[in-house]
A and B are shown apart, each in its own frame.
Chain A
Amino acid sequence: MTDSNKTPSGNGTGNGKDYKWVGTRAVRPDGVDKVTGRAKFGADLHLPNMLVGKVLRSPHAHAHIRSIDTSAAEALSGVKAVITRDDFSDQPKGAVQPAGEMTINYRDMVRNVMAREKALYEGHAIAAVAAVDARIAAKALSLIKVDFEVLPHVIDPVAAMESGAPIIQEDLMTEGMEQSPGAMTNIAKRVEFGHGDVAVGFAEADVVIEREFTTQPVHQAYIEPHACVASMTEDGQGELWLSTQGHYVARGHCATLLGLDVSKLRVQASEIGGGFGGKTVVYLEPLALALSRKACQPVKMAMTREEVFRATGPTSGAHLWVKVGATNDGRITAADAVLKYQAGAFPGSPVAQGAQCAFAPYELNHVRTIGYDILVNRAKVAAYRAPGAPIAEYATESVMDEIAGVIGMDPLEFRLKNAPKQGSQSSYGPKFPVIGCIETLEAARDHDHYQSPLKAGQGRGVATGYWFNIGGQTSATLNLSEDGSVALVLGTVDVGGTRASLSMMAAEELGIDLDKVRPMIGDTSALGYNMLTGGSRVTFAGGIAVVGAAQDLIGTLKDRAAKFWDIPVDDVEWAEGEARATNGYTDNMQPLSLQEIAKDMAKTGGPIVGAHSINAQGAGPSFGTHVVDVDVDRETGRVWVTRYTVVQDAGKAIHPSYVEGQYQGGAVQGIGWALNEEYIYDDKGRLENAGFLDYRVPVCSDVPMIDTVIVEVANPTHPYGVRGVGETPIVPPMAAISNALANALGIRFTDLPMSPPRVLAAIKAANGDATTAS
């Protein structure tokens, strides 16, 4: 299965081997900068002669833009540039281009960064200004006159599918569905996956459960708002500094929208203050470049928190229908689901991924999932950690729990009885490669948490989650310095410790001390293309690139040692950081250390560089099972998570602390999604809770310690067995918590979030003997 042409074998052989660095908890190389305030994030760069840019945003959820008058703003002293839709050329219709991890429709993107014919959501950018300071920029925005014709709007995905709903994009055609000529729709796409015949499967079932669920949009809620500094010169060259998950991808988007040669734009990623998928797209950056091009001065732009909530991300809200049948001995006979996801104002919800993952933790003979991508008057969705999967698996894992309860089976034993393994046909088609679904379920079942008794009134829930993970284009370089230390140049943004994990693999391969490897994230001119940090790909794909670069470097080092000794290179081996002569030469030749070879590299042929560029394939999919205990305040409806354990297959944990950190962080984001977080709109389609006070992410006192179990079922396509770990942890929490609440209260919740008012109402309704609450 390993693509031996591309994947360097390296020194790693997966698990069961003792390593010097891999698997240790080394201090991260960027750590001191981050605990001392030195680390430079998006808004931390100041350039000479820099202007401040601000955006005028639509106050309406849906409106024609009849005209925009910027003359008074332009006349204001201190204003250096004003831009509107007229400053961006339109993009060709219908053309999608591969860019980064997804194909991109630039006609949509140019409309999303700056409204053209219509404002499509509250917060949609209408105009932007650059001025000498923030106060003048704000004043200038207030002088821009926009003539809006307000239109009816729609936010709810089911309402948006009905005939007669306000139409978001008049020229939209539904992909995957018959559409009567001339009819307008908000349904961008219908997709269907599955195999077998669910009708046959349901006929075999002893028990069938069918439920409907809703979820609300939730935001990635990275603590650092979007920010950038753009600087264009009179000759059309540009530099861009930004907080992003992928500076090469951002470069491509900006160059396309501004009509620049890609290589004329040099892009540097700042330190990134969280992204979780939300910083894979561009918002401010094309505006800042356009303002800078007009003003011929650098322009800094940073969003307020309110702008982040209204105009970026979030992920889809959804309406979900799930039906599962099983026999009384716990075999699932059929599984069926219909998923309706909000896309926002442009097509592109992650419903296809949701539909594929919905039943992935089960080996099924009869399965079908249907997904709809639905336009509504809300900011276009951005990726959010395992995009699409948490929404679908919330619903499916709730029903699985319920059906296990009805047939009187332990929910983990039920899952184990139906769990997929290598060679099982997945619910979305292909057979699974080496996976660790069973191993995580068994580890959860055997964990002290699952075995321990509950306190009175508490409930316990479990859920399993699945995510694909991806590889992708990656370049890395190791530059040997004259003292034998090594500069590791990476092009993958570090969101949570990958400079550490990638350096550790480099040190392991080279056989040198970790502190002799200095990693840095190069700008877009420093390396070949690097796809963005997303899909849990960096330690996987970046690891393959770094191991390849190290092997390339070692090849040159052996060659130099062979020349030094004047022996064939085949008689030189590299071990423990030094070249050793073999085949009988050993006695008269002392090993040459990396330092010694480095000292004389000028005399033996010049600079020594190891490089590797790949398009990594064969990412290892990852399963996780979560166990959660909850307590409910029966008087307020407040749910307390009292104990939480994440069990997940990492393939191989290069840096266990940062693997645990991904598990813990994903679980707590999921706790927020389950219990508190939601977008709340007024009747005009305006977001009512665009701030951290009212959009309540979990705080420190809301959550307990998050226990973790790292299962290691090596991924055979990676030299150390790595699977991506960053996304799967957010998939199970919503169902696990809902299942725990059902266990505690005997009430099955079908709507997120399970916030105190909703839980309290359900408790009160349950006194009237209802078993389902909404």
Chain B
Amino acid sequence: MARIVLTGNLQLHTEGVSELELDVNTIRQLMRQLSTRYPGLPADFEDEVAVSIDGTIYQDDWFAEIAPDSEVHLLPRIGGG
């Protein structure tokens, strides 16, 4: 089970939960499970986040792999100048 950490304001939509464990292999599976588990998450929440898998940051990448022992952080999307 990967360890999932929600940062920023996501826990406002997850009944206050900011850490959980999920059995997911990819970012898409992660997004789907979060949406199912927490219907309060905005429909487009995944467009507003970046996903760190074991320290490497992904944006808009459904198929990035999550290992069973991965630590995954959902962060606000990162832009730049």
- Please report the C-alpha to C-alpha distance between residue A96 and residue B77 in the assembled complex, in whole angstroms: 13
Q: Does A670 contact B (CB under 8 A)?
A: no
> What residues of A have a CB within 8 angstroms of the CB of B77 in the complex?
101-103
Which among B57, B60, B61, B76 is the interface contact of A430 at CB below 8 angstroms? Answer: B57
Chain A residue with Cβ nearest B9: A176
> Min CB distance, A422 to chain B, in Å?
8
Contact with B along A605-620 (1 / 0, CB 8 A): 0000000000101110
> What residues of B have a CB within 8 angstroms of the CB of A422 in the complex?
55
Asked whether A98 and B80 contact (CB < 8 A) given A430-B75, A433-B55, the answer is: no
Asked whether A617 and B56 contact (CB < 8 A) given A103-B48, A176-B9, A356-B76, the answer is: yes
Contact with B along A159-189 (1 / 0, CB 8 A): 0000000000000000110000000000001
Asked whether A429 and B52 contact (CB < 8 A) given A98-B60, A615-B60, the answer is: yes
Which among B7, B48, B80 is the interface contact of A469 at CB below 8 angstroms? Answer: B80
Q: Does A321 contact B (CB under 8 A)?
A: no
Do residues A430 and B79 form an inter-chain contact, with CB atoms below 8 A? no
Do residues A386 and B12 form an inter-chain contact, with CB atoms below 8 A? no
Chain B residue with Cβ nearest A189: B9
- Please report the C-alpha to C-alpha distance between residue A473 and residue B58 in the assembled complex, in whole angstroms: 12
Asked whether A537 and B80 contact (CB < 8 A) given A472-B59, A617-B56, the answer is: yes
Do residues A535 and B76 form an inter-chain contact, with CB atoms below 8 A? no
Contact with B along A368-385 (1 / 0, CB 8 A): 000000000000000111
- Most B Cβ at <10 Å: residue of A97, A276, A433: A433
Q: Does A280 contact B (CB under 8 A)?
A: yes
Q: Does B15 contact A (CB under 8 A)?
A: no
Interface residues of A in 95-140 (CB under 8 A from B): 95-98, 101-103
Interface of A is mostly: loop
Do residues A96 and B48 form an inter-chain contact, with CB atoms below 8 A? yes
Do residues A619 and B57 form an inter-chain contact, with CB atoms below 8 A? yes
> Min CB distance, A730 to chain B, in Å?
8
> What residues of A have a CB within 8 angstroms of the CB of B8 in the complex?
191-193, 352
Do residues B56 and A103 form an inter-chain contact, with CB atoms below 8 A? no
Do residues A356 and B56 form an inter-chain contact, with CB atoms below 8 A? no
Do residues B54 and A277 form an inter-chain contact, with CB atoms below 8 A? no
Do residues A534 and B79 form an inter-chain contact, with CB atoms below 8 A? yes
> Min CB distance, A382 to chain B, in Å?
8
- Please report the C-alpha to C-alpha distance between residue A428 and residue B50 in the assembled complex, in whole angstroms: 12
Do residues B73 and A430 form an inter-chain contact, with CB atoms below 8 A? yes
Do residues A1 and B76 form an inter-chain contact, with CB atoms below 8 A? no
Interface of B is mostly: loop
Chain B residue with Cβ nearest A104: B47
Asked whether A534 and B80 contact (CB < 8 A) given A3-B64, A429-B7, A617-B61, the answer is: yes
Do residues B59 and A471 form an inter-chain contact, with CB atoms below 8 A? yes
> What residues of A have a CB within 8 angstroms of the CB of B55 in the complex?
1, 422-423, 430-433
Asked whether A617 and B57 contact (CB < 8 A) given A429-B5, A429-B73, the answer is: yes
- Please report the C-alpha to C-alpha distance between residue A726 and residue B61 in the assembled complex, in whole angstroms: 24
- Please report the C-alpha to C-alpha distance between residue A275 and residue B61 in the assembled complex, in whole angstroms: 28
Do residues A175 and B79 form an inter-chain contact, with CB atoms below 8 A? no
Interface residues of B in 29-63 (CB under 8 A from A): 44, 47-48, 52, 54-61, 63
Q: Does A285 contact B (CB under 8 A)?
A: no
Q: Does A536 contact B (CB under 8 A)?
A: yes
Chain B residue with Cβ nearest A433: B55
Do residues A383 and B80 form an inter-chain contact, with CB atoms below 8 A? yes
Q: Does A268 contact B (CB under 8 A)?
A: no
Q: Does A468 contact B (CB under 8 A)?
A: yes
- Please report the C-alpha to C-alpha distance between residue A98 and residue B61 in the assembled complex, in whole angstroms: 13
Asked whether A352 and B76 contact (CB < 8 A) given A386-B81, A619-B57, the answer is: yes
> What residues of B have a CB within 8 angstroms of the CB of A471 in the complex?
59
Do residues A428 and B75 form an inter-chain contact, with CB atoms below 8 A? yes
> Min CB distance, A367 to chain B, in Å?
12
Do residues A193 and B7 form an inter-chain contact, with CB atoms below 8 A? yes
Q: Does A387 contact B (CB under 8 A)?
A: yes
Q: Does B78 contact A (CB under 8 A)?
A: yes
Which among B47, B64, B78 is the interface contact of A470 at CB below 8 angstroms? Answer: B78
Q: Does B23 contact A (CB under 8 A)?
A: no
Asked whether A103 and B47 contact (CB < 8 A) given A191-B76, A428-B75, A430-B52, the answer is: yes
Which among B9, B47, B58, B71 is the interface contact of A191 at CB below 8 angstroms? Answer: B9
Q: Does A727 contact B (CB under 8 A)?
A: yes
> What residues of B have a CB within 8 angstroms of the CB of A383 in the complex?
79-81
> What residues of A have a CB within 8 angstroms of the CB of B44 in the complex?
95-96, 103
Q: Does A9 contact B (CB under 8 A)?
A: no
Chain A residue with Cβ nearest B48: A103
> What residues of A have a CB within 8 angstroms of the CB of B76 in the complex?
191, 352-353, 356
> Min CB distance, A721 to chain B, in Å?
15
> What residues of B have a CB within 8 angstroms of the CB of A280 in the complex?
79, 81
Do residues B80 and A536 form an inter-chain contact, with CB atoms below 8 A? yes
Do residues A96 and B47 form an inter-chain contact, with CB atoms below 8 A? yes
- Please report the C-alpha to C-alpha distance between residue A205 and residue B77 in the assembled complex, in whole angstroms: 34
- Please report the C-alpha to C-alpha distance between residue A175 and residue B76 in the assembled complex, in whole angstroms: 13
Q: Does A717 contact B (CB under 8 A)?
A: yes
> What residues of A have a CB within 8 angstroms of the CB of B60 in the complex?
98, 473, 615
- Most A Cβ at <10 Å: residue of B52, B64, B79: B79
Do residues A535 and B9 form an inter-chain contact, with CB atoms below 8 A? no
- Please report the C-alpha to C-alpha distance between residue A3 and residue B57 in the assembled complex, in whole angstroms: 11
> Min CB distance, A43 to chain B, in Å?
23
Do residues A431 and B48 form an inter-chain contact, with CB atoms below 8 A? no
> What residues of A have a CB within 8 angstroms of the CB of B48 in the complex?
96, 103
Asked whether A277 and B56 contact (CB < 8 A) given A103-B44, A189-B9, A430-B75, the answer is: no
> Min CB distance, A704 to chain B, in Å?
25
> What residues of B have a CB within 8 angstroms of the CB of A429 in the complex?
5, 7, 52, 73, 75
- Please report the C-alpha to C-alpha distance between residue A27 and residue B59 in the assembled complex, in whole angstroms: 34
> What residues of A have a CB within 8 angstroms of the CB of B47 in the complex?
96-98, 103
- Please report the C-alpha to C-alpha distance between residue A534 and residue B48 in the assembled complex, in whole angstroms: 17
> What residues of A have a CB within 8 angstroms of the CB of B57 in the complex?
430, 468, 470, 617-619
Chain B residue with Cβ nearest A220: B81
- Please report the C-alpha to C-alpha distance between residue A727 and residue B80 in the assembled complex, in whole angstroms: 8
- Please report the C-alpha to C-alpha distance between residue A455 and residue B55 in the assembled complex, in whole angstroms: 44
> What residues of B have a CB within 8 angstroms of the CB of A96 in the complex?
44, 47-48
> Min CB distance, A709 to chain B, in Å?
23
- Please report the C-alpha to C-alpha distance between residue A471 and residue B54 in the assembled complex, in whole angstroms: 17
> What residues of A have a CB within 8 angstroms of the CB of B64 in the complex?
3, 617
- Most B Cβ at <10 Å: residue of A276, A278, A356, A384: A356
Chain B residue with Cβ nearest A191: B8
> What residues of A have a CB within 8 angstroms of the CB of B59 in the complex?
470-472, 615, 617
Chain A residue with Cβ nearest B80: A535
Chain B residue with Cβ nearest A95: B44
- Please report the C-alpha to C-alpha distance between residue A444 and residue B47 in the assembled complex, in whole angstroms: 39
> Min CB distance, B71 to chain A, in Å?
7
> What residues of B have a CB within 8 angstroms of the CB of A535 in the complex?
78-81
Do residues A102 and B79 form an inter-chain contact, with CB atoms below 8 A? yes
Contact with B along A417-461 (1 / 0, CB 8 A): 000001100001111110000000000000000000000000000
List 21 A–B pairs whose Cβ atoms lie within 8 Å, in order of A's numbering: A96-B48, A175-B9, A190-B9, A220-B81, A277-B80, A384-B81, A386-B80, A422-B55, A429-B52, A430-B5, A430-B57, A433-B55, A468-B78, A468-B80, A470-B59, A534-B80, A536-B80, A537-B80, A615-B60, A617-B57, A617-B58
Enumerate the 3 nearest inter-chain pairs by beta-carbon distance, A residue then B residue, closest first: A535-B80, A277-B81, A430-B52
Interface, chain B (partner A; CB < 8 A): 5, 7-9, 12, 44, 47-48, 52, 54-61, 63-64, 71, 73, 75-81
